[in-house]
Structure 1
C-alpha cells in the first residue's frame, strides 16, 4: 500500500512510519517540521515539507504521492495553546483536517485520523470510557478534534468513503522529547536521569491511561488493514496514577524520586482511561506493552542520549 503520513516526522508519526515500512508498505511523509525531526525517519522515506493549512502545497504533495491511505497526525497538539488561541487551534485541527479530506477525495484515498481520547470525554464520563459516551471536551483542543471526527463521518455519508478515527489515550515512548512541555513519562524520565526533582501538579492521585507508542503504531496498521469506517479508542483500559508512575520510574532508574508538589492545574481531569473492547473486536488490536515495561524502555532511551532512531 502507498501511504502518506501527515505529521510523520513527529514522535508518534515516526513510529507509525516504521511500522508500515516493516509491513512492506511504501511510505511518504508530509510535515511542516515545526516540531517534527526528519532524523527520526528511515532514510528511505521522502519528506515533503508542507503544512496542512496550505491547500496548494498539500494538494500538490497528495497529487504527487497518490496515496491509497493518508494517516493524518499533523495537528496543533498543545491544550494550553488551544485555550489561549482557539481560532489558531481550529484553523489547524478543524480546517486543516477538512483540507486533508478534500485532498484525499481528489486522490481517492482513505483517511485514518489521529483523534484524542484523553481530551474528548467529559469529567462525568464513566471510567474506563467506551466510544458511545457523548463527548464533553473541556478545552478547544478536544472540541476541535471532535469536530474533525464529525467531518470524517460527514464525508463517509456524502461520498461513501471509509474514513476512520482512532481516539488515542496518553501516548508515551522513545522519541518523545524528555525536555518538552508535554508527555509526562518522558519529562519524568529526563528529571530522573539528571537527578532532578520532578514536579507533580495536585496530589498525584490523578490517573491517566498510558499507552505505548509501539502499540499505537500497531493499532494504525490494524485499522489500515481492516479498511472500514469507525471510531475506536486506543488505550489500555487501565488507570495509572502519577504516584504509581513515579514508583515505576524509580524501579527503572534505580533511584528514589522525591517530587515537588504544585497546585493542581485548573480543569484537569482527575480520572481517565479508555475502554478498548471495540478495537479488540473490530480491529483485532489489544495493547501488548505494560506500563512498567514501557517506562523502563523510555528511561533506557533517555539514558542512552535520546537518539532519534532508537526505540523501535
Structure 2
C-alpha cells in the first residue's frame, strides 16, 4: 500500500519507539509511508530508537510522546491514521506479577481505548494489526515432553513435534500478563466480529534482532548476547532445556505488513507468528552458539522456574504462511550472528560517543 492509497494519512504505530515498533516504522518509512510513532518512551533506551528513526526519515516520521492510557492524545492520533499497528504494551511476565494493576491498565484498557478510538472515528475504522503473544495458550503443562539430546525438550506427540502449536489450541491465560494480553487479543477479534473492524491478531513467539533492549525479563536472546559480549554470566530460569521458535524481526515486520495488505481477507483472524519448527531451539543451544560467536564459553547460572513459563513452545506457522503469503523464516544461527554484529557495532559507537563527550 502506498501513501497515496491512504489519502495522505499516516500509519500509526503505537509503541513505535520499541524494538519491533521501530523496525516496523523504519520499514514503513522506507516504503514511502508517513509514520506517526506513538510512544510513552517509558522503557530505558527506546528514546535512542526514536532519535534513530527521525534521523533516518526526518520528513516521514513524526512522534507523539504519550501514554497509551491518555485517551485524548490517543483519539487525536487515531483520527489521523490510515492504518494502525498496535504494539504499545507492558511486555514482561515478571512485571505483571509485581504490578498487575498497571499491566491490566496498559495492556487491556489501552487496547480497548485503541479499539474504541477506531470504532468511533469519523470516516469509519482504520485497519488494525495487534501484537499478541504465545502466552495466550498458558503454560502448556499438558504437553507431554521428552528430553532431546540432553539439552532440549521436545513433544512426544509426532504431530506437535513436526508442526508446533496451532491456532486451534484452546486459550488458557496464565499470569496477569497472559490475562491482560489474552483478553486484549479476544477484544480485537470480537471488535472485528461485532463491529466490522478490519483487524487481525499476531500471536508472537520470541522475536529478536537489531534495536532490541534485551533484559532478564524480556528479549532474552539480545540479553544473553549483551551479557556474553561483556564477559558477564547469564541467569537462566529453569533448566535451560526450554524450547522456543525464534524469529528475526525482519520476518516479523514482513508478516505485519502482509496482514495489513490482506486485511479484508484476514480480518477477525489470529495467527501464530514465530520461526516455526525449523527455528526451534533451546536456551542451552543458543548459549552454546553464543560461546562460538564470542570465542569463549558463556557462564550460565541456573535458578528456579518462573511462574507461567512454558517448557516448550513452537508456533505452527502453516496458517500464517498460507494466508499471509510468508516465505521461510531466516535461519536462527544466521540471525543471531547478525544481531551479535549489530550489538558489537552499537556498543562501539556508544563508547566512541562517550569518549568524545568526556574529552570536551
Please indicate, yes or no, whether the TM-score normalized by the shorter chain is above 0.5: yes
Match of 2:109 in 1: 95
Greater shift after overlay, 121-130 or 181-190?
A: 121-130
Q: SS at 2:341's partner residue?
A: helix
| Structure 1 residue runs without a partner (length 5+) | none
- Structure 2 counterparts to residues 211-230 of structure 1, below 5 A: 211-227=247-263, 228-229=266-267, 230=269
Indicate how the Cα distance of structure 1 residues 121 and 198 shifts in structure 2: closer, same or farther if over 3 A, else same. same
Match of 1:234 in 2: 273
Q: CA deviation at 1:203?
A: 1.9
Q: SS at 1:137's partner residue?
A: coil
Q: SS at 1:209's partner residue?
A: strand
Structure with greater proportional helix content: 2
1:50-79 CA distances to partner (integer Å, 9 max, x unpaired)? 12211111112223xx21211000011121
The 8 Å contact of residues 128 and 260 in structure 2, kept in 1 or not, is answered as: no
1:155-177 CA distances to partner (integer Å, 9 max, x unpaired)? 22222221111111111111112
Match of 1:115 in 2: 132
The 8 Å contact of residues 86 and 140 in structure 1, kept in 2 or not, is answered as: yes
Among candidates 19, 22, 34, match of residue 11 of structure 1: 19
Match of 1:282 in 2: 323
Q: CA deviation at 1:178?
A: 4.2
Query: What is the count of residue pairs matched by the alignment?
Result: 305
Q: CA deviation at 1:287?
A: 4.4
Match of 1:31 in 2: 39
Q: CA deviation at 1:261?
A: 2.2
Greater shift after overlay, 204-213 or 39-48?
A: 39-48
Note if 1:68 corresponds to 2:107. Answer: no
Aligned residues: CA RMSD: 1.8
| TM-score normalized by the length of structure 2 | 0.80
Among candidates 52, 62, 68, match of residue 46 of structure 1: 62
Runs (4+) of structure 1 exceeding 6 A deviation are none
Indicate how the Cα distance of structure 1 residues 201 and 149 shifts in structure 2: closer, same or farther if over 3 A, else same. closer
The 8 Å contact of residues 29 and 46 in structure 1, kept in 2 or not, is answered as: yes
Q: Using the alignment, how far apart are the partners of 2:171 and 2:215 within structure 1?
A: 31
Q: CA deviation at 1:190?
A: 1.2
| TM-score normalized by the length of structure 1 | 0.92
Q: Using the alignment, how far apart are the partners of 2:343 and 2:301 within structure 1?
A: 21
Note if 1:192 corresponds to 2:228. Answer: yes
Greater shift after overlay, 9-18 or 284-293?
A: 284-293
Q: Using the alignment, how far apart are the partners of 2:19 and 2:343 within structure 1?
A: 14
Q: CA deviation at 1:10?
A: 0.6
The 8 Å contact of residues 19 and 221 in structure 1, kept in 2 or not, is answered as: no
Q: Using the alignment, how far apart are the partners of 2:255 and 2:219 within structure 1?
A: 20
